[in-house]
Amino acid sequence: MAGGFCTLDDAALGGKRVLLRVDLNVPMKNGAVSDATRLERVTPTIAEIAGKGGKVILLSHLGRPKGRDPALSLRPVAAALATLLNRSVGFAEDCIGPAARAAVAAMRPGDIVCLENTRFHGGEESNEPAFVAALAELGDLWVNDAFSAAHRAHASTEGLGHLLPAYAGRAMQAELHALGKALETPEHPLMAIIGGAKISTKLALLRHLIEKVDFLAIGGGMANTFLAAQGKSVGKSLAEPDLAATAREILTAADRAHCEIVLPTDAVWRGPLRRMRRRTSYRSTLSPPTP
């Protein structure tokens, strides 16, 4: 056990069915992966488990489907992953039920199979016990290597940890070690940068960070909610206006904790008939530390 959590070093993988939660939520263009960065991050964990004789069963979401959506199938992502790994990656038409069970039953030690988009089922995001159980029956242990999705208490990111022995993958292990070093024994001044579309999915994280860091830079759609909460116009940009009061509470708490919230200060775009190009800058009122 490293850093208070179990890693692949603690797992007996040979011959085991390993449910590996990865983040395959990659940009797509014309039905193909347009940026494989996230795939590259998880290939070491996949290759290690397969190399140790584990049966690698990949779980992931892609996009925000409302039910089954062929445009958000993980099939082309599995193909891109096979190219990166330089080995075969099977694909199952569903992540639970007969198709998933048949794909897993046919696996041999070292095989890799990608199951279909977990969000095709409502039970994924609601962390429905029956859906969690249906996933769990496919594996002997669960490895989470999807740090970027770990803040969500969904079936494949949290629920499985209650039913199966749980381990961190190599990417998750590295992120947790880095996060622990930054938050437990940090060098000050310390800045955290956080982005994403929604405050609602990161409330606990934001409240925790403002007690730990000197600067918290917020970007993405989340920043618009904070700007709107301060009375600034964000036009039709992505925001959560119903969480304006929550954003103000976080700003007040940050002020009490002597943590400066750093938000975008300007935007530049070309005329309304052209595709908008935006440049965002982050400005702090504090002087940089003296070397």
DSSP string, 46-84: HHHHHHTT-EEEEE---S--SS--GGG-SHHHHHHHHHH
Structure confidence at residue 76 (pLDDT): 97
CATH 3.40.50.1260 residue ranges for the chain: 8-173, 186-291
Summary mean pLDDT of the chain: 88
Q: What is the CATH number of domain 186-291?
A: 3.40.50.1260
148 touches 72 (CB < 8 A): no
**Residue pLDDT, tens place only, 19-57:** 999 999 999 999 999 999 999 999 999 999 999 999 999
**Residue pLDDT, tens place only, 234-267:** 888 888 888 889 999 999 999 999 999 999 887 6
What gap in Å lies between CA 241 and CA 256, rounded to an integer? Answer: 24
pTM: 0.73
61 touches 21 (CB < 8 A): no
What stretches in the chain show pLDDT beneath 70? Answer: 1-3, 267-291
* Eight-state DSSP code of residue 12: -
Q: What is the CATH number of domain 8-173?
A: 3.40.50.1260
Angle at the Cα of 284 from the Cα atoms of 175 and 255, rounded to 5 degrees: 80
Residues 6+ apart with CB under 8 A from 226: 199, 218, 247, 250, 251, 261, 263
